[in-house]
Structure 1
Amino acid sequence: LGEDESFEVELPENPEDPSAGTRKLVFTREIFIERDDFMEDPPKKFFRLAPGREVRLRGACIVRCEEVIRDDAGEIVALKCTMDKDSIGGAPKDGRRIRGTLHWVSAVHGVSAEARLYDRLFESENPAGEEDFLKHLNPTSREILDDIRIEPTLAELPIGQTVQFERMGYFCRDPEDTPDGRLRFNRTITLKDSWAKIARKLDPRESEKRTSDKRKS
């Protein structure tokens, strides 16, 4: 896709409720995907993006990862992909099977926001039964993601209204924006991640490491 090229896609507001209507997004040369949707050396049953692998970008097209770009510290900062232009709309014309489908947001049109992830306040199931319940506080009961990217239509979401962030859970817009004027969202309900469940079965230690890395990022 050329630097100045883009195209519009139409996605359902709620795939399980056609009556909810649709929303429009603009697909551009540069996009953001979830960090966890890419692995450089993926294990079996990981059907998201990896070097040399194709995935479907929901409602847009099929892309193939051709190159991994790193910074001076060796951290992955970008992926260079090629697009199958014949697949615009989401389906390959030759009928080949694409197992992974990712959500995305345009790097040009995406809006920066803050997300607060809430979890259990205590690590103990029964803090009242502990000798010192304060020792069982969950240090990650609230995590703040300072710079997430959301679809531009969410900038018009009324205060207090709930929306689902795919695979992340349900979020409610906070009455107060961030000090620099960006939207703030609070997670109210989590969702199950099918890959996270598989990863724990394959290698519990590796799953714990990836969870830790995600929190650091």
Structure 2
Amino acid sequence: MIGRRYAIAIGLGAAVALAATAALAHGVADKDAAFIQANPGLQIVPFLYLGAKHMVTGYDHLLFLAGVIFFLYRLREVALYVTMFSLGHSITLLSGVLANLHVDPFLVDAVIGLSVVYKALDNLGAYPTLIGVQPNPKLMVLLFGLVHGFGLATKLQDLELSKDGLVPNILAFNVGVELGQIVALSLILAAMTLWRSTGSFRRGAVAANVLIMTAGFVLMGQQLAGYFWEGAA
């Protein structure tokens, strides 16, 4: 029963994600963008808040993290994988903004959707059958973390940030992302721990990962549609 409810909860979360338009996928809210642009210079607290909010409301990042920790039972393992993810997205978030490295936001978000699909398939044990080899899970989390960081960077680049106070502001944003990640991950872990304590976990695990994979495919499709729509406009 709990496994079924958990699967339904994931499905509802995916439905919320799919209701968002491609152009607004985990973007910066208009009022937040207006505040940042109207208040140039050193703004540590607003950027901390913006980073935390961005991660907590970033359904694509959260779906990936949920997939990453799905079968991790030891806190040491959780910490290791989350550290690999954090290292990856910190590198590209900081370098993307500070070094002005631009990638197409639709394409990078499409790859982020693909990362969700990848992790769900990994949890389903599909790769030895599909490609005859099991990818290194830690390396893949690090690599996809790099992609997620570029996704974060594209949102800040849209703000045309002032160079005054840029470095400490971006560092504050990154710290906020990490704090938001801790909050979101704690809630996900609490729910997972409760579910794992029941006999329904194994029965519902496959369905849950199929739902996660489906959400990843649709998120990827949204972004690709946005990319081609923008190109045609």
Give the shorter-chain TM-score range: under 0.3
Q: Greater strand share, 1 or 2?
A: 1
Specify the structure having the higher radius of gyration (Cα): 1
Higher relative contact order (CA 8 A, sep 6+): 2
**TM-score of the superposition, structure 2-length normalised?**
0.24
